[in-house]
Amino acid sequence: MKLGEDFSGGLFRRGYWPDNATGLWYSLAVAVVLMVLHQALQAVFVVAGLMFFKLAPGVTPALTKVALVSIFPASLIVFALGYWLAGLRGGVRREVLALHWPRLTPLGVAVLIIGFMLAMYAAIMLIVLVFQVDISQYTPGPHGESPKTGSAGAVKEAMFDIANTPWLFALVFPSIAIGAPLAEELIFRGQLFSALSQTRLGVAGTTVVTAALWSLLHVTEPWLSIGLIFVMGLFFGWMMYRFGSLWLTVLCHGVWNGFYALLIFFNAAGVP
């Protein structure tokens, strides 16, 4: 069973060597600019979407749905700009952003994705058991209704509602499975990760810092979701260290988001 050359060497064989000539402060500025730009582009697309669909801007569910659709085009623009900015000030884009495809066979990639998914579900089970979490408190109703204990998170509630409308789900799915992973991984595990890794933080400290920053980006979500995003950030930091490829974190991020979105959709469709 051949998984690829990069699978040999154990869990902690280092495959990531940061190469960022742009400097720490430049990289921090780029990360901030990209995050602000992403929000600004979403706002522009949301306004355009509300006008196109003739929706009332004050209706929160409608606003959230259009915002989710807008993630895809906004993310593509942010990714393209982030790629271009990584090449300024002497940076080699492919090296700065670790845009290398690892030496893995298709089977090796599949094994890595499955391992990541199993590790995430193990983390969820551990958190639920240790903190005695009632999952029903974080599960929206069939049409996105908030649990009695409070909000399950605006995005999750919107996805449960969207799942009842197949054509709208088809519009949102690329944002969830492609757009968000591309933009978020480029911002947090791209140029920022390489710059911080060259400081005293090293890769280990950078993994913790970027995971924390990424989870704080989702501060409007319930604490359980924020905690899981932090854990996922730790896994992605390990992937960067182990395989040195941003494409792997994008792929695993996209599979996780897409798989969860499809579970919601098929549950709404009544598929056993």
Does residue 148 register a pLDDT over 90? no
Query: Percent of the chain at pLDDT above 90?
Result: 67
Can you give the pLDDT at residue 1? 60
Ranges of each domain in the chain? 11-268
Span 102-111, average pLDDT: 94
Does residue 57 register a pLDDT over 60? no
Per-residue b or e along 156-170, where b marks 16 or more CB atoms closer than 10 Å to that residue's CB:
bbbbbbbbeeeebbe
Residues 155-166 have pLDDT tens digits of 888 899 999 999
Can you give the pLDDT at residue 253? 98
Lowest mean pLDDT among 1-15, 43-57, 164-178: 43-57
Residues 208-227 have pLDDT tens digits of 999 999 999 888 788 888 99
Can you give the pLDDT at residue 114? 97
Residues 159-189 have pLDDT tens digits of 999 999 999 999 999 999 999 999 999 999 9
Does residue 271 register a pLDDT over 60? no
Compute the chain's Rg from CA coordinates: 19
Do the Cβ atoms of 203 and 214 come closer than 8 Å? no
